[in-house]
Amino acid sequence: MTVGTAVVNILVFPGFLFLVALGLAGEFVDRKLYARFQNRQGPPWFQPVADVLKLFGKEDVIPEEADRTTFNLAPVFALAAVVAASLYIPLWSATSLFPFDGDLIVVLYLLLIPTVCFFLGGWYSRSVFATLGAVRAITQVFAYEIPLFVALLAPSLLANSWSISKIAAYYAAHPWLWLVNLIGFGVALVSLLGKLERVPFDTPEAETEIVAGSFTEYSGRRLAFFRLAINCEAIVGASLIAAVFLPFGLGLAPWLGFLVYLGKVLLILGILALLRTLFARLRIDQMIDFCWKVVAPIAFLQVLINLVVRELI
């Protein structure tokens, strides 16, 4: 791969621009489904694009008290980390752009960076609401991150590899073995809700209690970057779960594989929107209790099952 194609791959397709477009489309799908579940019309298809364009045109206010460097850099870092993570996930082909052994771990850590950026941005805004939101965001990390790690690492026990491409290849070579990981799939979806700060785990930005959490003081361009980061994170998280838990259609023709990939992402986004409609917001202590007492043991059960299955086959 020459430097030129690598740059195009990273910036345009399937890197930054493609991911942003997919993220905006994903936000529309989520909002439209949410609206239809509530028996109303919902926003038009261009709504996320209009939101971002408007935010780019708005005045950018930096509070006097805020730490300027951190306040400015947090949104950019959040978006950059998500885009970097997308480069290591196989989307519709059998391998990712830059595969190596252990990229699963790297992706999980890269996906942690946005949450840390939410914390830093909120904390250094020096606003009461933003500080509260930041503390809640970082508290929530400790609840959902362990189940997410355990659930995503369980399939790798069977595949005997920490490379996402090799895991996908293994499950493609052993059809029906993915059924073993269904529990882990559920756990990963619940954890993804926490990662994206969606209802019922949206305590960090609970708008009825602490206005907008970490983003309270953000306006204009920086808020747009944060929104893009969350949108892209939804797509990257869905792609990661699809690659690890739903390994179908990897050997198909590119366009057919692309359609299958879109279908998988749509399925996961649909499940997330359905969960968002069904549940109300949990308190932060209820959320942590739920994650540690219910979700984490189920994730460990998945590991146990995989260890047993590994001995059997």
Partner 1 sequence: MNVARRMVRWGQRKSPWILHFNTGACNACDIEIIATLTPRFDLERFGVLLKGTPRHCDIMACSGPVTRQIESRLVRIYEQVPEPKLVVAVGSCATSGGVFNGLYNVKSGIDQVIPVAAYIPGCPASPQAIIDGFAKLLKTLEVGK
What is the contact surface with partner 1 in residues (CB under 8 A)?
Answer: 31, 35, 38-44, 46-47, 49-61, 129, 207-208, 211-212, 215-220, 223
Residue 54 CB, shortest distance to partner 1, in Å, is: 4
Kindly tell me which of 5 and 38 has the beta carbon lying closer to partner 1: 38
Which positions ≥6 away from 291 have C-beta within 8 Å? 143, 144, 146, 147, 191, 194
Ramachandran region of residue 176, left (φ > 0), alpha (ψ -120 to 50) or beta? left
CB half-sphere exposure, 212, CA atoms < 13 A: 12
Minimum Å gap between C-beta 215 and partner 1 is 8
Counting other chains too, the contacts that 41-48 makes at CB distance below 8 Å and 24 or more residues apart are 48/24, 48/231
Report in angstroms how near the CB of residue 223 gets to partner 1 at its nearest: 7
Cβ 208 to partner 1 shortest distance, Å: 8
Instruction: State how far the Cα of 129 lies from the Cα of 50, in Å rounded to an integer.
Output: 27
Describe the chain by its helix, strand, coil percentages, rounded to 5: 75, 0, 25
Q: How far is the CB of 219 from partner 1 (least distance, A)?
A: 4
Q: Which residue has the tokens 């989307």?
A: 91
Closest C-alpha among 154, 290, 122, 109 to residue 222 = 122
**In whole angstroms, how far apart are CA 17 and each of 8, 9, 197, 200?**
10, 10, 24, 30
Closer to partner 1 at the Cβ: 253 or 274? 274
Please count the other Cβ atoms lying within 10 Å of the Cβ belonging to residue 160. 10
**CB closer to partner 1, 47 vs 70:** 47
Nearer to partner 1, 212 or 288 (CB): 212
Q: Tell me how far, at minimum, the Cβ of 29 lies from partner 1, in Å.
A: 14
Paired tokens of 216:
């309270």
Q: CB of residue 196 vs partner 1: minimum separation in angstroms?
A: 17
Nearest to partner 1 of 55, 242 (CB atom) = 55
The minimum distance between CB 220 and partner 1, in angstroms, equals 6
- Triad 122, 124, 127: Cα angle to 5°: 65
Residues 298, 232, 179, 151, CA torsion sign: negative
